Amino acid sequence: MSLSPADQAKSAASARALTLVEDGMTLGLGTGSTAGWFVRLLSERIKRERIRVTGVATSSATVWLAEELGVPLCKLEDVERIDLTVDGADEFDANLNLIKGGGAALLQEKIVAAASGRMVVIADDSKRVARLGAFPLPVEIVRFGWTSTRRAVQELLNGMDVEGREISIRTGSAGPLVTDEGHFILDLHLGQINDAPRLASALNAIPGVVESGLFIDMASMVIIGKTDGKTEVIERVVAPGTSVDQAELMRNQDS
């Protein structure tokens, strides 16, 4: 079957990530079209090589896909640690900070990533940006008093170094979209975020905000798939006693 250029890139990134999987691992399985490619390739490897791995899904959609493909699953509550999480991203910058949540699974994705020894992001080159913010930033909020929470977020943005400040409520077929955890999603149309760590901390301090789609200092590697089937790897290397802010980013590209 011939793949579209976009699917070729997603497949290439997923195949490269699959080389990091070892027998006996517990894996965090991301959500979205690119992460879906990883789950499919993982299923094929399980059947081909008989490796023993267990997945922790980050959404109900990923649960359905993994079960359909025969990838063993467990709940996060049943494991002490996840060895490796592989997930997509809506944007990533040069510091490997991310915007995630286009698929409304950001809360579970962040919980799984935080419980992991390593988070690897798979993406195509269109997700690489100089500054985060062109993709609307999702913010998961509780439904109780959500309009008050929205006003608080709006007031916060007035003092933030961003280009835009429009906020919309994510909608589904029957009104506001409800996440797997029973929450609403606000989408912040910011254009450009000039201090992503500051914004992430400030958003999380608002009562009613559950979590934002800013993943700061969480990804250890980004694998970029190319339309010709090649990949580029950007890896964060942190020496003992070195803060993440001082970490060197190493890049290599397939020949």
CB 231 within 8 A of CB 224: yes
Residue 219 labeled ligand binder:
no
For residue 27, what are the β-bridge partners? 55, 84
Residue 230 labeled ligand binder:
no
CB 165 within 8 A of CB 154: yes
AA letter at 182: G
Residue 213 labeled ligand binder:
no
Instruction: Retrieve residue 228's tokens.
Output: 């010709």
Active site residues: 109
Residue 110 labeled ligand binder:
no
Residue 10 labeled ligand binder:
no
Residue 33 labeled ligand binder:
yes
Residue 90 labeled ligand binder:
yes
Residue 34 labeled ligand binder:
yes
d(CA 25, CA 84): 8
Instruction: Retrieve residue 51's tokens.
Output: 């490796």
Residue 102 labeled ligand binder:
yes
DSSP H/E element including 198: helix 196-204
Q: Residue for token digits 């988070």?
A: 119
Residue 101 labeled ligand binder:
yes
CB 168 within 8 A of CB 184: no
AA letter at 148: S
Q: Return binding residues for substrate.
A: 31-34, 87-90, 100-103, 127
Q: Return binding residues.
A: 31-34, 87-90, 100-103, 127
